[in-house]
Amino acid sequence: MKASDLFVRCLENEGVKYIFGIPGEENTDLVDSLIGSDIKFILVHHEQAAAFMADIYGRLTGKPGVCLGTLGPGATNLLTGIGNAYLDYSPVVAITGQAGLDRIHKESHQYVDIIGVFEEVTKWNQQIKVPHTIPEIIRKAFKTAVIEKPGAVHIELPEDVAMMDTEGEPLPVTPMPRSRPAEAEIKKAVELINRAKKPIILAGNGVIRDGATEALRKFAEAKQIPVVNSFMAKGVLPSDHPLTLYTVGMQARDYVLCGFDLADLIITVGYDFVEYLPKYWNDEAMKPIIHIDARTAEIDAYYPVQAELIGNVTETLEALTTEVEEKELWPEVKRLRSQIVEKLHSSDEVSGSPIIPQRIIADLKKAEKGNAIVISDVGAHKLWIARLYQPEKPNHTIISNGFASMGVAVPGAIAAKLAKPDKPVIAVTGDGGFLMNGVELATAKRLGLAFVIVIFHDSKFGLIEWKQLNKFDRTNAIEFTDPDFLEFAKSFGVKGVKITHSDELLHTLEKAVASKEIVLIDVDVDYSENVELSKTLGDYICKL
């Protein structure tokens, strides 16, 4: 058989349903081999969007998302999305074509060393030099992509290798083993928790990846330990749970940090340093740490690990639930939680034009009724979403955090709808981020998908304005001219609605979420609240 046919058979063996990408001359054999396959090729308009789709698909399913580009610019266009998956620990397999082996030793049209280019943003990165290695390379790529911590891998298939005749069969897909921490470390952790008067849990992305939210809830409830989540672990506890202290991650003195100030032990569960560095929540390195994760802790002066429980997160939490003594909730938690709730919802009903971000997010939460998957782009709105928006379920709020790349929301919504077709999906983006990959409306429309796009519209890079004002008290090079977003949407056959006053928003959002088509909602936002928030957090002192 042809090597590209064997390649596709191996992808089918791995359970691949979609490949996001763009065909090119040097990957044309692979694209041709997809004819008759159960794998659906999702043609996009830019490879960056394909990589973002693979990233979000991987996060939502736990299975590697797959993206495809050709050589040269097709491959380098994938790079930003691959970096996003790498730093957010999302399983992705990137496939690129390449010039034939007979010309990669010399200057050649469109040839650059893509293996070298991808080296720093992949867990594993391999060129196929002989076709009989295809089953081994694909099996290793998919296994490596999902092993904790998950991430992006890359396979390069030169055009002449793709055309070669070969023999071979896909290798068996075996289940991933589950490991348990060393008993001595479990015992040490149990002793630390039993002695602690005010323990607190910091839940990170690894809780979501491991599917450990139920085990975390049972442990926290059984031992009455409050839980704080990172941006990427939203939904580990529902928003009305008495033990949740909500979200931490702002690089400022947010209210939630009061819980860390008062705690005498911090239990990190599935926490990745890329989410929120320890110096922001353990700034004097005074609080001892119990580290629960599939991987050993990163070395950091502000992260003094006293017990390190390395293994399956669910297994570890179940062991602690059995062995740790019952505790009483420390008294400050209820008061702190009440304060946080009051602060987070103090502006939910503020009316006006343009609309403050707090009101937009409050109405968004009311409209989606705790069931939607929300994909947040990067910009000023991301910090408001991260701080204020509290989903009711895990893996229902997807935030680009480690690499923090703009342009992810619209491609991410497409991937989310393909991964979870029965779920409402909402892409929340700024006008700057939307314009980076808004052309993928054409892809969504062609696929017959239905989701909502909410644009925070201020005709500038609002997050950079926020940073500039805080640092210099002036701004530069942040403003731009937007198109008419309603006409832009209309050109793709997509319905658009303009919102200029808060009184119009909730009803529009509710109709859009219930719609069976794509709806773009262009909202004029008042970002004067950004600097006010910075002042509030900067002056905040814990008072309990």
Output phi, psi for 349, to 5 deg: -110, 10
Query: Does 531 have pLDDT greater than 90?
Result: no
Query: Does 487 have pLDDT greater than 70?
Result: yes
Higher pLDDT, 542 or 376: 376
**Structure confidence at residue 490 (pLDDT):** 98
**Structure confidence at residue 100 (pLDDT):** 67
Q: Are 114 and 156 in contact (CB under 8 A)?
A: yes
- d(CA 385, CA 231) in angstroms, rounded, equals 9
Give the residue ranges of DSSP H helices in 263-402.
313-323, 332-344, 357-368, 380-388
What tens digit of pLDDT does each residue of 409-464 get? 999 999 999 999 999 999 999 999 999 999 999 999 999 999 999 999 999 998 88
**Structure confidence at residue 467 (pLDDT):** 85
Q: Are 1 and 165 in contact (CB under 8 A)?
A: yes
Query: Does 189 have pLDDT greater than 80?
Result: yes
Q: How confident is the model at residue 533 (pLDDT cuts 50, 70, 90)?
A: confident
What tens digit of pLDDT does each residue of 365-403 get? 999 999 999 999 999 999 999 999 999 999 999 999 889
Of 412, 447, 450, residue with least CA distance to 53: 412
Q: How confident is the model at residue 251 (pLDDT cuts 50, 70, 90)?
A: low
**Structure confidence at residue 106 (pLDDT):** 61
Lowest mean pLDDT among 91-95, 97-101, 183-187, 504-508: 97-101
* Domains of the chain by start residue, with CATH: 3-163 (3.40.50.970), 183-339 (3.40.50.1220), 347-536 (3.40.50.970)
- Strands 397-399, 425-430: pairing is unpaired
Q: Are 401 and 247 in contact (CB under 8 A)?
A: no
Q: Are 449 and 477 in contact (CB under 8 A)?
A: no
- d(CA 211, CA 148) in angstroms, rounded, equals 13
Of 398, 410, 376, 432, residue with least CA distance to 20: 410
- d(CA 537, CA 248) in angstroms, rounded, equals 13
Q: Which two tokens stand for residue 517?
A: 């088509």
Q: What is the mean pLDDT of residues 99-115?
A: 75
What tens digit of pLDDT does each residue of 288-343 get? 999 999 999 999 999 999 999 999 999 999 999 999 999 999 999 999 999 999 98
Q: What is the mean pLDDT of residues 490-510?
A: 97
Query: What single DSSP character describes residue 242?
Result: T
- d(CA 166, CA 145) in angstroms, rounded, equals 26
Q: What is the mean pLDDT of residues 225-233?
A: 96
**Structure confidence at residue 536 (pLDDT):** 72
Tally Cβ neighbours within 10 Å of residue 393: 16
Please give the share of the chain, as a percent, with pLDDT higher than 70. 97
Query: Does 474 have pLDDT greater than 70?
Result: yes
- Looking at every residue in the chain, the average pLDDT score rounds to 94
Q: Are 279 and 254 in contact (CB under 8 A)?
A: no
Q: Count of H helices and E strands in the chain?
A: 22, 18
DSSP-based three-state secondary structure for 522: strand
**Structure confidence at residue 541 (pLDDT):** 63
What tens digit of pLDDT does each residue of 110-168 get? 678 999 999 999 999 999 999 999 999 999 999 999 999 999 999 999 999 999 999 99
- d(CA 435, CA 529) in angstroms, rounded, equals 24
Which pTM does this prediction carry?
A: 0.95
Query: What single DSSP character describes residue 297?
Result: P
What tens digit of pLDDT does each residue of 4-44 get? 999 999 999 999 999 999 999 999 999 999 999 999 999 99
